[in-house]
Amino acid sequence: MTKFKTLDDLGDLTGTVVLVRVDFNLPMQGVSVTDDTRVRAAAPTILELADKGAKVLLLSHFGRPKGEKVSTMSVSMTLDSVQAVLGREVMFVPEIAGDVVRQSLAILQPGDIALLENTRFWKGEEANDPDLAKAIAANADIFVNDAFSAAHRAHASTEGLAHLLPAYAGRSMEAELKALEAALGNPERPVAAVIGGAKVSSKLDVLTHLVTQVDHLIIGGGMANTFLAARGINVGKSLSEHELAATCEGILDAAEKAGCIVHLPYDVVVAKEFAANPASLRICNVHEVATDEMILDIGPQATEALADVLKTCRTLVWNGPLGAFETAPFDAATVALAKSAAALTREGALVSVAGGGDTVAALAHAGVVGDFSYISTAGGAFLEWMEGKDLPGVVALQQA
Ligand code: ADP
Ligand code: MG
């Protein structure tokens, strides 16, 4: 991976104005923040810069105000949460550029922190307008990007600023990029990828890219049904995209050419109705699914075989649950394989990296979050990285 500068490249910053792009697009219920994970992720970077004497200006998007000033989408809604996590007083500044920011900087002392307004209140943010980026940069000396989760978007505050100021990766960005590099950039082989979740159609680009990168492609979840159906297997009432049969064949062909072994389940957990512990629950071979049944998880034999595959691997990248894990007992395969991966990681035998909204929830449900090498909460940016795409916010840091 092309190198980028980090906070290690910065010395004393007394009086230096540092713009830090964070992702404070926090989940809210009314006016309260329901999850401050993203603030905790950015805290080490913010405090390190403040402790080096910088005047720290925090920049984030918040919701989708589409270039208008929408009062319910002011970043100030997160201020209490930010102050609580940082344990410092933070000044709120209702602008991102111009005189108001300049006047605030005159009040701020070295080591002080200010939170600027929602970048998406200005149309130039999402348009990556160089004039807006220049206006923001005019008040600062250095740019630090600590928002990997926003790096797949080429916006003024994620990409534009990195070309106008000396640009550095924050600690959380640095950790994410190192973990992703270890998983797919330059991994120890053999590499296994687990791809599950609901639909093939939402992860076509991921599958297409992965078959050229990994040694074992493990397909589970609803998308396994689509692959099974493409092979002529009756999947009954299962969630399945029958129109994608040719696409699945193409992916399997590409995998064979690339020497990637594809693992589809040979036993499955089925039921006639989708409910917790339904009376019709049974485990069967994939060739024995009845027309009125649906596949809701991969079976115990397949799960055990996959655990054996992981034992032969050095690296694992995981996106998507293997079954409908929100409903018992269709979480069994996901939980079992997650525990196998966690144990191998604890032993030092496996580097395990996972990401995706429902995947993070499933791994938390399995109780393995602390045992994986790295779990990305970046959502869209994580998936684009799994698709092999360049993330504009990261490329801009590498070019800086
Ligand atoms: P992520 O958010 O981690 O990328 P997805 O959104 O692609 O994951 O998929 C997660 C969803 O897939 C979960 O809600 C889960 O219930 C569903 N799912 C997994 N397997 C099945 C299945 N066999 N049938 C129906 N839904 C499934
Ligand atoms: Mg999802």
What is the pTM for the complete model shown?
0.93
pLDDT at 41: 95
User: In this predicted structure, what is the pLDDT of residue 400?
Assistant: 86
123 a catalytic residue = no
Domain membership of residue 93 (yes or no) is yes
State the total domains in the chain: 2
Instruction: Tell me the best of 268, 358, 377, 386 to mutate to test the pocket of ligand 1, counting ligand atoms within 8 Å of each CB and taking the most.
Output: 358
Extract the tokens encoding 260. Answer: 């990637």
Contact criterion met (CB below 8 Å) for 190 and 216: yes
Residues 167 and 222 in one domain: no
Residue 357 annotated in active site = yes
In this prediction, residue 2 has a pLDDT band, given cuts at 50, 70 and 90, of confident
Q: Confirm whether 374 is domain-assigned.
A: no
Nearest ligand 1 atom to the CA of 357 is: 2
| Nearest ligand (C-alpha, residue 355) | 1
> Are 297 and 324 in contact, with CB atoms under 8 Å apart?
yes
Q: What is the pLDDT of residue 166?
A: 98
Q: What percent of the chain has pLDDT over 70?
A: 100
**Atom 15 of ligand 1 has which residue's CA nearest to it?**
324
Q: Does ligand 1 lie within 6 Å of residue 376's CB atom? A: no
CA distances in angstroms from 62 to 19, 30, 69, 118, listed in the order given = 17, 14, 11, 6
Answer yes or no: is the C-beta of 356 below 6 A from any ligand 1 atom: yes
Q: Is the CB of 157 under 6 A from ligand 1?
A: no
CATH code assigned at 265: 3.40.50.1260
Instruction: Examine the domain organization and report whether 57 and 132 are in the same domain.
Output: yes
* 381 is a domain residue: no
pLDDT computed for residue 62 by the predictor: 98
**Structural domain boundaries enclosing 129:** 7-174+392-399
**Same structural domain for residues 145 and 211?**
no
- Give the pLDDT band (50/70/90) at residue 190: very high
Query: What is the mean pLDDT of the segment spanning 233-242?
Result: 97
* Residue 3 falls in the annotated catalytic set: no
Atom of ligand 1 nearest to the CA of 326: 16
Query: Please, which pLDDT band fits residue 74 given cuts at 50, 70 and 90?
Result: very high
**303 CB neighbour count, 10 Å cutoff:** 23
Please indicate, yes or no, whether residues 107 and 200 belong to a single structural domain of this protein: no
348 tagged catalytic: no
On whether both 168 and 203 belong to a single domain, the answer is no
Question: How far is the C-alpha of 198 from the C-alpha of 294, rounded, in Å?
Answer: 13
Quick one: pLDDT at residue 379? 87
Do 295 and 236 form a contact (C-beta atoms < 8 A)? yes
- The answer to whether the CB of 239 is under 6 A from ligand 1 is yes
Å from CA of 320 to ligand 1 middle: 6
pLDDT tier, 238 (very low <50, low <70, confident <90, very high otherwise): very high
